[in-house]
Amino acid sequence: MTNPFGFTSTTDDVLAGIDLTGKRILVTGVSAGLGVETARALASHGAQVVGTARDREKGSKALAEVGLDHAAIDLVELDLADLASVRRTADQLLMERRPLDLVIANAGVMAPPFGLTADGFETQFGTNHLGHFAFVNRLAALMRPGSRLVMLASSGHRFADVDLVDPNFDTTPYDPFVAYGRSKTANILFAVEFDRRYRALGLRATAVHPGGIRTELSRHMGAEKLQLLADSINADLAKEGKPAMAWKTPGQGAATTLWAGIVADADAVGGRYCEDCQVSPVISDESIGFGSPGVRPYALDPETAKALWAKSEEWVSETFDLRLEGHR
């Protein structure tokens, strides 16, 4: 069957006719942008949503603006840049023993000045990857067979592969977009390895690029830098004989997340990278710019994915393997 969804599809298009009553879905980063829209769409179709926010008051206000109150969403505090917060929130959810049907790792930070997390990791890698790595792995025991993990990645993964030797820029000059690229490649590789490890247990994982959306994510860039990035993308598209990029609405941006997490065939998206409600082609040609769909081969490399998992366990000082824990 031809996939009816694409670039302009919205969350409401993707979920049309789908009843999510009885499904419990966790979404990180529900205090703005895509997270709020994702939570709204899921709740409007009957899902019980657990949302996380670094600032609960900000999250409550943002959710209330789209008609969600505490009866519609369970809001919990989580700071992905602090592993103590990650463990505290994960333990709180584990104590409740309430199963999950879908986990959406949506929260993130993009291109800030150089900084370190509470645990001494470069801000973007520590927040976007390591925070989610520890949080998702701790909650994986709650995921029912048939559940999925969706990692919010980005075409920005094309800025850089992961660096397993110098993740914190100790010996190399800091570049905010290189750091962002490393963290987004890590998000994809985490999905690749999670899917490989746990598909036999009935758990699948995928990574998605939501597209270009004007949200709080770009707050560290400012209007001028954001426009320069858009101009660069458009220059690449012009060289390829393609029209200029179009910004997506939050509803269009979150559509791929819900398509990959709920609608698409699990075998089609498991361990893959998706955008515009499609599985993306693998592109080795570096002359193809960011505005064209595609994923770099290094972001799907299974050996790198295994190595990243092992190093991430080392960095967060925890090991994770549901296969050894009798997951059911």
Distance of CA 158 to the CA centre of its chain: 16
Q: One of 174, 180, 198, 298 is an active-site residue; which one?
A: 180
Among all chains, which residue has been given the structure tokens 């900000």? 58
The 10 Å CB-count burial string (b at 16+, else e) for 242-278 is eeebeebebbbbbbbbbbbbbbbebeebbbbbbbbbb
What is the identity of the amino acid at 217?
L
Phi and psi angles of residue 34, each rounded to the nearest 5 degrees, phi first = -65, -35
Gap between the Cα atoms of 32 and 135, Å rounded:
20
User: CB–CB of 45/261 below 8 Å?
Assistant: no
Gap between the Cα atoms of 30 and 267, Å rounded:
28
Alpha carbon separation from 114 to 111, 166, 179, 314 (Å, rounded) = 9, 14, 9, 23
Alpha carbon separation from 162 to 98, 129, 308, 312 (Å, rounded) = 34, 11, 8, 12
Q: What H or E segment, with its residue span, contains residue 146?
A: strand 143-152
Alpha carbon separation from 41 to 103, 142, 215, 223, 248 (Å, rounded) = 15, 23, 17, 29, 16
Does 180 participate in catalysis according to the annotation? Answer: yes
* Catalytic sites, residue numbers: 180
